[in-house]
Each structure stands twice: as C-alpha cells, then as structure tokens.
Copies of this chain bind each other. A is one copy, B any other.
Amino acid sequence: MKQRNVLVLFFFLMITVAQSQQLSDYDLWLKYNLIENSELSDSYSKITNSISISSESEVFKNLKKELSLALPKILNNKTKFQNGFTNETTLLIDTFKNLPTDLKPKIQKSIDSVNEEGFIIKSIAFNNKQLTIITAKKEVGLLYGTFKLLEFMQLHKPLTDIDVVDSPKIQLRMLNHWDNLDRSVERGYAGFSLWNWQKLPEHIDQRYIDYARANASIGINATVLTNVNANALVLTPMYLEKVEALANVFRGYGIKVYLTARFSAPIEIGNLETADPLDSEVQKWWANKASEIYKRIPDFGGFLVKANSEGQPGPQNYGRNHVDGANMMATALEPFGGNVIWRAFVYSEHDDTDRAKQAYDEFLPYDGKFKDNVVVQVKNGPIDFQPREPFHPMFGALKKTPLAMEFQITQEYLGFSSHLVFLPKLFEEVLDTDTYQKGKGSTIAKIIDGSLYRNKITVMAGVSNIGTDINWTGHPFAQANWYGFGRLAWDPYISSEQIADEWLRLTYNTDDAFVEPVKRMMLTSREAVVNYMNPIGLHHIFDTGHHYGPGPWVDNLGRPDWNPVYYHQTDTEGIGFDRTTSGSNATEQYAPHVQDMYNDVTAIPEEYLLWFHHLPWNYKLKNGEILWDGIAIKYQEGVDQVKTMIKTWDASKSYVSEQEYNDVKMLLQIQLKEAQWWRDACLLYFQTFSKLPLPDKVEKPTHTLEYYQSLKFPFAPGIKPKWD
C-alpha cells in the first residue's frame, strides 16, 4: 500500500468517524473508543488475543458478539475465538464447573464468595503463560464479567494482574417503564415507548437488542414493560405473544420481563363480574393467566401492581385489603417462581390525614402478612419524587416485609429532559440515610440490600427515562442517570462521584482535564435544581398535571393534596408544612432519634426545614439571614449554579465533538431560562404573602406574577393520555 493511499485511508477514517458522530449518542456508554496509547493497547491485545468460548448458548453468543464489536474498535485488532480451551488461549470465558480441572483450585476460594450472578476476572500464570479467566457460577455472570473487562479497558485500567471478585448486592435490579400500549410514556421526556407493539412479534427492532446490551452492561436484570397505570389488554394473547418476543431477546442478556397487572383484569378481559381477591373464580382466573404466561415465557418475572391508588382498581373496591390482593396474585405466580411487586404509593381522597403519612399508616399493620414472593415497593420519599425529600418512613419500619426501593430516573419533577441533573447524587443521599430503625447504622442501603433484616428478596427499581429519542434519554447527560441507577442497584454503596467519573470517561473523553471540572458540574447539578425549584424543604409546588414549571399558586384541584398550596401552607405569617408534633405529626413515623431531629427546628438539617416546619418569614436561619431572604437567595443560587454549569461546559468544548457540545449547550440554555422562571415565579408569588423586598443579590423578575400565572402548557410531554 502506497503512502498516498495511507493518507487517503486515514482521511477517510476521520470522515467516517465524523459521520457516525452524528448519531454517536446512540451508543451510550458503550462507545468502545480506540485506545491511542499503544503500550496500553498492546497490553490489552495480549490478553484478548485468543479467546476461548465453549458454548453456543444465547448468553455466550451475546458476550461473543459484544467482544467482536468492542475489541476491534478499542484495540484495532481482529479478535480470534476458539471453541474450547487450548494452548493458545489468553482469555478463557467459562462457568466454573466447566473450567479445566487443574485451574479450578486457583479460583475455588473466589467462586465460593460470589453469588449466583457474581463473576470473577482473574489473571493467573498457567503453563508458563499469562492467562486471564472470566468465570462464574452461571452464564449470566460471564456476561457481566465480559462487560466489566470491556469497561476496564475503556477506563484504561491496568489488567495485567487483574483480580476482580464481584457480585450484585441486590437481586432484582429493575427498570419500571411507564409505557402505555399507545406508545405514549407517562412522565416520559425522551420521545415515546421503545416497544413497537404494532410490529411485534415479527419485527425485532435493533433497539430492543441495544437496550438489552446497555442494561446488561450495568447489571440491570429485570424490566417491567408497561405502565403501573395498567391496561389489562397486555395480558391478552395478542399482546402476550409480543411480550414473549421481547422476552426472547432479553433472556440472552440476563433480563427477566415483568408486566403490570391491572387488578380489574378478570372483569375487563376475563368476563368475570368481580375482581374480588377472595372470590374463587377470580383466584382461578389469575392462576390460569399465570400458567398461560409461563407457558410462553418460562422465566417470566411476575407482576408489578398499583392498586387502590390514584383511581386504579384494587382489593379495597371489594372491601379487601392490600394483603388480600397481593397474596392472591402471589399464590397464582408461586408455582412458577414469580413475584408480586406491590406498590405502596397509596393515598386516599377520603382521608384528610397528611398525605406524607398515609402509606405508612396503611401498610404498617400488614408487616409480616404478605406471602414470601411479595415485595412492597416504596418510593424514596413520602410524597412523590421531589428534588429533595426526607426518606420514606416505611423504610426500616416494616421489619418483616421486603421493601423495594423505587427511584425515579425520569425527571418528572427535575426539569424533564431539558435539565442536566445528575441523579445518582440524589440516590446516594437516600441510600446513605440512617433510619435508626435498628439502631445507628440502619441505613436505607442496608434495608434495600437485605442485610439489615435478612430479607429473602431484594429489589431496587428505577422508573425509566428511556424513550425513542436517538440518544435514548432526551438529554445526553440523562444517560448518566440510567447508568448510575444500574451501578447503584448492583452496589448501593458506591459513590456518585465514582459513577460520574466512570460515565464521563466511557461516554465522552478520558482526559482528566475534561473529566474533573465536568464531574464537579454533574455533582453540583442536583443541588442546583433543589435551589432553583424547591429550596429549604419546599416541595410539590409544580404546575398541575404535567408538572412542568412552577405553580405554587395552584389551589383549584379536585382534592386538597393535589394542590401546591397544601404543601407550602404559605400565609402572611410564614411558610412551610408543620409536620411536627404540633402539626400533622408525620415525624412520629420515624425512629425516635430521627423524630427528635426532625421535630427540633434547631437540629433539623435546613434542607428539610419547610418540609417539617411552618416558620415565620423573619425566622433566623443558621447563617443569620431571615427565612424570606434565605429562600430568595437559594433561588438565586440555583440560577447562578446553572450559569456556572454553562461556563464549565463552554470550557470543555475542545474535548467533545461539535455536535455534542452544541446539543448540551442548547439544553443548558433552556435550563437557565427555566431556572430563572422558577425563581421569579415562586418569589413573586411568595412575596404576596411575605410583603418583603427581594435581597439585593437576587435579580429582579422579568415578568409579573400574573404573566407567570397565565402560562399554560396543554401539550407538555409525559401526561397521561385521556384514553387510559
């Protein structure tokens, strides 16, 4: 090949990369960028030079496909696969039981310490050569180990003496898709549902496969395909055939499929006259339905159920309770090994108790009464996925019932997909919180991973932010929230900083000069959104229905606890919801130590102040500011933080492609505009009560309160379609 051709080729190479750049967001954190450091590249090439894979199972096929895709891109190498272990093998991938006998002793101790989904990556000297082994008890561990090896390469970690022994700490690491059968996604801000029901089961969209790859790469092993506001039709044969086709794709990536089960399905699609869980016909109907599903999908996960909540049918429609409902379904699934995940997000329009208290009140008496294959799924806070909430009092309080954590990855109350908010920071704050329910150190992480109460089932669920947008999540940085959720579901003790660091390197650039400032930007982004939306414990002051933008003035909704005025309780005297002993006494639901802290206005962390206390406008904050000034300054601080984010991103321009730069930049402009809108609208509104001037350092609003109140967004994304 002549020199000229070389240059031409090189030029063409650049161009080809430039072209695919346009859609590079699609590749998520699986970019598999070329390693330019030749020493590193050579050392990785030695390890992956000759790969032994012995099985043709779906999981093996998929991990082989991944290596075949990744290694040539990372290493400029053609990868050789062998069917079985030979003298040439440099990388051996097999389950422990199939390892060569003389290798087993070197791994035995490690293999004993991992669980059914864990894996080992170990470099050993064997026959005078370096051999790297990925092994596990089950095939799925090999898949996780393979992705881990590729991750390490992308992170430029040394592999020569690699010795990784890793197991997921939580059994079910699950996405909840609030996807409707019409492909709208409730609280979806990244386009529409991935599931193209119309073309299933025949047409397997490449996205189904790439979705499974992405999930497997971070250890997500379960997916609920449908909205918790469920439609019974998904349980009919026409749809089950389509669900089966998806399950067939996902199985090879270690992912189990769950469905949401509408409690009234026996009436709607079963021709029964009741859905009473104690009715034997109803019980038989669910048993038959379970049997029908498992015939199609032998590893079907089970049902996720929202019952007697926000208008959904449930056992209470028949004078029964949550235990009756959940156990009835659990009985149907039990013979097949399926689970019922029963949501605790309940609050009643006929109950004027503080909404923050209702789920605890309702579920505590049932502790220990659910069947073994029932998990109760609890949102991280007692209200509804606010930018910041104190932890849900059910965590730690139910000691005999396994509780699943429900995080929301989609940013219903956190700026949709226009705002850059790094959620692992929020997740970490929740997981690290000490409930004191079994003494000091009773953190939520320990409750969720089952170590505190020795639960048989452990679950972490995330309400998905995934849609049909080419970049999957709407905002490129929202990919980090999907990624981070997966990482924390695998190990709820890793830090959000580590997650941000890894994600940035995998996604954009491994240069520290890029990673460090952008990581700081990510890590402050969550506090920014708290500041410009809901500072100092304010909450649920969003506009109605779509939750887009501020609506602290809204007071005309059907029930009190849907109205923002219910949550901020503002009057001319002050602001905040008194949930202490003098108020709704929501604090009583926490362990005594926590109660004392929350009840005591001097002891409570100020970020929860107005969640638990109603305080006068001139109340003195710890920094000496009066409350009104403190609120106003926090709003301004949030806006200022967004401005700093923009500066940081501008400074990172040379480390990303032009399109990547522009894309995020335009979104940050929206974030800034909306942060200012939040600040101005909320402060103007609260000012009508406080009658106090804005502190000097707070920018003057650009519009009147009436203007902000006049804004209407009938087509804001993510709202529930009317045909539901």
Contact = CB atoms under 8 A, between A and B. Distances in A.
Interface string A526-551: 00000000000000000000000000
Contacts of A76: 8-9, 11-12
B15 A72 contact: yes
Given A12-B76, A722-B722, A19 B19 contact: no
A717 B78 CA distance: 44
A296 B434 CA distance: 56
Contact of A418 (B8, B26, B199, B721): B199
A278 interface: no
Interface in A370-426: 416, 418
B17 A202 contact: no
A666 B192 contact: no
A189 B198 CA distance: 9
A203 B12 contact: no
Given A468-B468, A717-B198, A206 B16 contact: no
A203 B20 contact: no
A470 interface: yes
Contact of A20 (B9, B12, B19, B723): B19
A203 B663 CA distance: 7
A722 B389 CA distance: 36
A717 to B, nearest CB: 5
Interface stretch (A132-140, A444-452, A667-675): A667-675
A1 B10 CA distance: 10
Contacts of A73: 12, 15-16, 19
Contact of A715 (B16, B197, B469): B197
A23 B27 CA distance: 10
Given A19-B69, A191-B192, A202 B723 contact: no
B11 A9 contact: no
A720 to B, nearest CB: 11
Interface residues of A, number: 60
Contact of A468 (B3, B34, B182, B192): B192
A716 interface: yes
A311 interface: no
Given A9-B6, A183-B717, A722-B721, A199 B16 contact: no
A405 B663 CA distance: 38
A602 interface: no
A26 B11 CA distance: 23
Nearest to A722: B722
A72 B202 contact: no
A714 interface: yes
B11 A20 contact: no
Contacts of A627: none
Given A6-B6, A9-B13, A199 B26 contact: no
Contacts of A468: 191-192, 468-469
Contacts of A198: 189, 416, 418, 715-717
**Which of A1, A207, A715 lies at the interface centre, i.e. has the most chain B CB atoms within 10 A of its CB?**
A715
A181 interface: yes
A233 interface: yes
In the complex, the 9 A-B pairs of residues with the closest C-beta atoms, listed nearest first: A20-B20, A181-B715, A15-B72, A8-B76, A203-B666, A722-B722, A16-B16, A23-B23, A202-B670
22 contacts: A8-B76, A11-B72, A12-B34, A15-B72, A16-B20, A16-B73, A19-B73, A22-B206, A23-B470, A182-B717, A184-B184, A197-B715, A198-B416, A198-B717, A199-B418, A199-B667, A199-B670, A202-B667, A203-B418, A203-B666, A233-B714, A722-B723
